[in-house]
Amino acid sequence: MERIGVYGGSFNPVHTGHVNIIKYVLENMKLDRLIVIPVGCPSHKDNLLLNGNKRIKLLEVACKDIDKVTISDIEIKNKGVSHTYDTLLNLKKKYKDAIFYEIIGEDSADYLHEWKDYEKMVKECKFVVLKRNGYAYRAEHENIIVLESPLYRYSSTEIRERLKKGLDITGMVPRKVHEIIIKEKLYR
Ligand SMILES: Nc1ncnc2c1ncn2[C@@H]1O[C@H](COP(=O)(O)OP(=O)(O)OP(=O)(O)O)[C@@H](O)[C@H]1O
Ligand SMILES: O=C(O)c1ccc[n+]([C@@H]2O[C@H](COP(=O)([O-])O)[C@@H](O)[C@H]2O)c1
């Protein structure tokens, strides 16, 4: 059975932590494929995100050299609020005989029980939780796997704030992503 990782997020913008998480999970969960899904319209926060196609472009640049990774526009193309369970059902139609591993950080895991259709989702896929600074999540279901992952630095918020203040973000995002952010004056 194909092992498919699904990594959803705002990616506003993609940062070095995201990229390291992708590499770590691919390796440690022995995934055959990992689909990165930038959110279209978030259900749980204001939609003040950079345009979806720009976020996709930055993700493509960031993941260009990582085997087995694809960036999906499924949530960005769909009108309406994005819900992970709806996306999972869509993917299940396309990849019929696969096990899905939803990749999240501990901060997301902390309110996972509030996600739409959480009870159904936790029976139909597995969650893979990555450690995050300042959190101490404990799994409450056998399908939630907490990895003993390294602590990855950076958050998109931190990067947006630095850019607004005109501060340097070298190393916080992949080099090519940095170049585009500067060239196109994103997040100013
Ligand atoms: N440094 C990190 N360590 C562990 N998990 C992370 C890290 N950065 C992001 N994640 C996880 O990756 C997923 C997507 O993250 P997201 O795109 O929201 O980035 P973020 O840095 O948390 O953004 P923001 O600061 O805008 O909230 C979420 O489940 C989040 O918990
Ligand atoms: O489906 C839900 O109800 C739901 C509620 C909160 C968050 N999510 C998803 O969790 C992922 C991480 O969210 P965020 O805000 O940390 O980028 C992203 O793909 C969201 O769509 C999903």
pLDDT attached to residue 91: 98
Say which ligand is closest to the CA of 39: 2
User: What does the pLDDT read at residue 48?
Assistant: 86
Q: What is the pLDDT of residue 56?
A: 98
What residues form DSSP beta bridges with 101? 5, 126
Q: What is the pTM of this model?
A: 0.98
Nearest-angstrom CA–CA distance, 123 and 104: 16
* Complex ipTM value: 0.99
Contact 128, 145 (CB under 8 A): yes
Query: Which one of 10, 34, 108 would you pick to mutate in the ligand 2 pocket, going by the greatest count of ligand atoms within 8 A of its CB?
Result: 108
Is residue 186 within 8 Å of 163, Cβ to Cβ? Answer: yes
Enumerate residues 6+ apart whose C-beta is below 8 A from 153.
16, 17, 133, 172
- Please list every protein residue whose CB sits less than 6 Å from any atom of ligand 1: 9-12, 17-18, 21, 104-105, 107-108, 130, 132, 152, 154-157
pLDDT in tens, 119-158: 999 999 999 999 999 999 999 899 999 999 999 999 999 9
- Model pLDDT for residues 24-45, shown as the tens digit of each residue: 999 999 999 999 999 999 998 7
The predicted-structure confidence for 53-100, as pLDDT tens digits, reads as follows: 999 999 999 999 999 999 999 999 998 999 999 999 999 999 999 999
Mean pLDDT for the chain overall = 97
**Is residue 111 classed exposed, middle or buried when 0-12, 13-18 and 19+ CB atoms within 10 A define those classes?**
exposed
The minimum-distance atom of ligand 2 relative to the CA of 111 is 6
Distance 167 CA to ligand 1 centre (A): 21
Ligand 2 — pocket residues by CB below 6 A?
A: 8-10, 39, 42-44, 82-85, 108, 115-116
Cα separations (Å) of 100 from 138, 150, 157? 21, 23, 28
CATH topology of domain 2-152: Rossmann fold (3.40.50)
